[in-house]
Structure 1
């Protein structure tokens, strides 16, 4: 049986969707599958695929990909690739066209973003009608997918994302951890409360800052320091106008000495080691990768009670707060900041939950089982 798949991601962006293919390729290889890729020339997706050990096909644009469909079909035939996997809805036009021209191909699509409106017009009925299996990355997105896509329920499957927990296991010495905390501006003895992610509206940094101001007033005896991790420029994926708004609000609330804008950090697992509490106030996460990363690091997590995050954490592994309620965030952070034993218990339970349910190996196992089923069906 041919165990080959082509991942298609024609995007110039750089986020979880674009990172996905290169993240899973090493695990695909370990599980006996060879991956090929199709990306935009010069994109970070193309670079990441090279770094993952494959040389992707590249095109200048989505339009050029459609014009080169004959070349793509020849490539698929030469390499005996019969499975395609798309990650952007805009790429389904190409995937569906390839399947139309070669019906022996099987097409998969992962909805990374969470569909927001119905897609049942004639074009979408044609394109999604060529999809063998649509993967929803959480139950919340699956329910939305069931309502929005012109597919029978049996072709829409929930498949949680996963991570490799190993990099998140603490490895810093006490001295190294203290040096990192010093570099982040965390005073000795303070509880470090962190938020990691792109600085853009919708990720909840504004509500979090308001909650921090309330924390200072409601729990004046608590020693804490906040760390905001995320790029500060457009080149790093953030909104510079929004960053300026956050800085102004921090100054207005008098939090300048209690909050560090850490900027982009490539070593997120080590940054988590410097923190005591991790907050994820995103309003409508389709999954919540940062949540399970923090859980794998053994951190007490406060997450938004919306989107898919309640599927990841509960009262035994963290705390939830309404994404638009700064008082709820204030009290959740205050509870954890004041109880080191509780933080440790929640963090240990969170790490165990990730190891049991949200590993990259388990995700890829589910993926290749679906691939294999489709391959058998195409024989």
Structure 2
């Protein structure tokens, strides 16, 4: 495989699955002797990106403004100057800018165009740009099926399923009897001390993540004599104060405020999984993949989630007992009680690994670049 220069485009590098995938591919490119460049508005993940040996160009290509169109020329010049072999777009507005920039280059200097469909966005002309790649990476089978259903003119040969993956070294299996993680979490968050069952719902503080379902579930468990606690790391973020206040009010109304902890994102998410007894994935909007599922199962903790989208796909494959019909609160409560009382046997090996995702993506790049 000859050395390649790959440019990835996304709005920013704050947090989230798209951002993490970008860093994971950039580090794999550098480790394999290639040049990795990321273009975004920046964010807290720029530092680890640079530490991996990749490069970053700060450009606000995610802002929905007519002024953003001026970045097409900047991108065109960048692709030309660095001799880009591959341009890989991971979000819609950056994809439109990147596509125009690529098309404005002479054919002899035009890089190959790759897109990844990371989400199940509303179908339409604006979203269709994510299906414009010479190769379109789908992060799960349900994403591929979604693309084929809503964009029937896309050649199926251009679609390639490359699931997101978990690094077993970063999410090692921890026996349920090992309480060291719970003790460490309790030391950092005294509200979580004790032996009561711990429910974990990690994720951003957005309404679609299903925090209200988790609070209702907690209240149901308490009403049935299960004194569980609920930790929601990642919910408390700048700009989310009003939403957090709503959740705190809901917890008070349900009588479970003393059993709920809402915190900022944790840098020790693997430890958080290991400290928990049951991990929740209750997003109202179907997720394209559901990284939480594979991370929790890699650590050895059962997952309970709605049976739709990528989360349902993963649960049906890896832990069917955790898949509950969408918004069936009675079934959710019943299955939570069951999983807490009788933890299921979990797969000894998670087939969706980071290494496989990196390998398959680099092979896709190489197949285009020659």
Q: TM-score, normalised by structure 2?
A: 0.86
Compared CA separation, residues 259 and 68, structure 1 to 2 (3 A): closer
Q: By how many angstroms is 1:13 displaced? A: 5.6
Find the counterpart in structure 1 of residue 64 from structure 2: none
Asked whether the equivalents of residues 108 and 131 of structure 1 are also in contact (C-alpha less than 8 Å), the reply is yes
Deviation at 1:167, TM superposition (A): 1.5
Unpaired segments of 5 or more residues in structure 1?
A: none
Instruction: After TM superposition, give the deviation of residue 183 of structure 1 in Å.
Output: 4.0
- Choose 29-38 or 168-177, whichever is displaced more: 168-177
1:193 paired residue number: 199
| Alignment-derived partner of residue 235 in structure 2 | 231
**Shift in alpha-carbon separation, 1:32–1:267, aligned structure 2, 3 A:** same
User: Which residue of 2 is the match for residue 374 of structure 1?
Assistant: 368
Q: Aligned in 2, Cα 1:216/1:32: closer, same or farther, shift over 3 Å?
A: same
Gaps of 5+ in 2: 62-67
**Is the CA contact 1:19–1:48 (under 8 Å) kept in the aligned structure 2?**
no
* Conserved 8 A contact 2:26-2:37: no
User: What is the aligned partner in structure 2 of residue 312 from structure 1?
Assistant: 314
Task: Tell me the residue number matched to 2:90.
Answer: 87
* Superposition map of 1:38-57 within 5 A: 38-40=39-41, 42-44=42-44, 46-57=46-57
| 3-state secondary structure, aligned to 1:249 | helix
Other-structure match for 2:304: 302
The verdict on how the C-alpha distance between 1:88 and 1:14 changes in structure 2, with shifts beyond 3 A counting, is same
Measure, in 2, the Cα distance between the counterparts of 1:331 and 1:92: 44
CA contact (8 A) 2:72 2:98 kept: no
The number of equivalent residue pairs is 354
Change (3 A) 1:178 1:158: same
Q: Deviations over 1:162-212 (max 9, x none)?
A: 121212115797456424235432343322111111121111111121122
Corresponding position of 1:111:
117
The question of 1:9 aligning with 2:15 is answered no
Residue 166 of structure 1 aligns to a residue whose secondary structure is coil
User: 2: distance between equivalents of 1:319 and 1:275?
Assistant: 15
SS of equivalent residue, structure 1 residue 68: helix
Q: 1:248 to 1:52 in 2, by over 3 A?
A: same
User: C-alpha displacement at 1:65, in angstroms?
Assistant: 2.1
Give the Cα–Cα distance (whole angstroms) in 2 for the partners of residues 233 and 227 of structure 1.
15
The structure 2 residue matched to 1:202, chosen from 186, 208, 218, is 208
Supply the distance in 1 between the matched residues of 2:148 and 2:12 (Cα, whole angstroms): 25
Change (3 A) 1:120 1:154: farther
Contact 2:306 2:323 in 1 (8 A): yes
Instruction: Give 1:20-31 correspondences, 5 Å limit.
Output: 20-31=21-32
Report the Cα offset of residue 32 of structure 1: 4.4
For residue 167 of structure 1, give the secondary structure of its aligned residue in structure 2: coil
| Distance of 1:292 and 1:63 partners within structure 2 | 38
The Cα RMSD (Å) is: 2.6
Equivalent residue for 1:213, pick from 213, 219, 222: 219
Counterpart in the other structure of 2:65: none
Could you tell me which residue of structure 2 aligns to residue 364 of structure 1?
358
Distance (whole Å) between structure 2 residues aligned to residue 338 and residue 128 of structure 1: 44
Q: Report the secondary structure of 1:56's partner residue.
A: strand
**What secondary structure is seen at the aligned counterpart in 2 of 1:135?**
strand
CA distance 1:174–1:206, shift in 2 (3 Å): closer
Of residues 108-117 and 316-325 in structure 1, the stretch that sits farther from structure 2 once superposed is 316-325
* Distance in structure 2 (CA, Å) of the matches to 1:329 and 1:118: 34
Return the alpha-carbon distance in structure 1 between the equivalents of residues 15 and 317 of structure 2: 33
Q: Secondary structure at the match of 2:339?
A: helix
Corresponding residue for residue 157 of structure 1: 160
Show the 5 A alignment for 1:275-290. 275-283=276-284, 284-290=286-292
Aligned equivalents of 1:93, 1:224: Cα separation in 2: 47
The question of 1:180 aligning with 2:151 is answered no
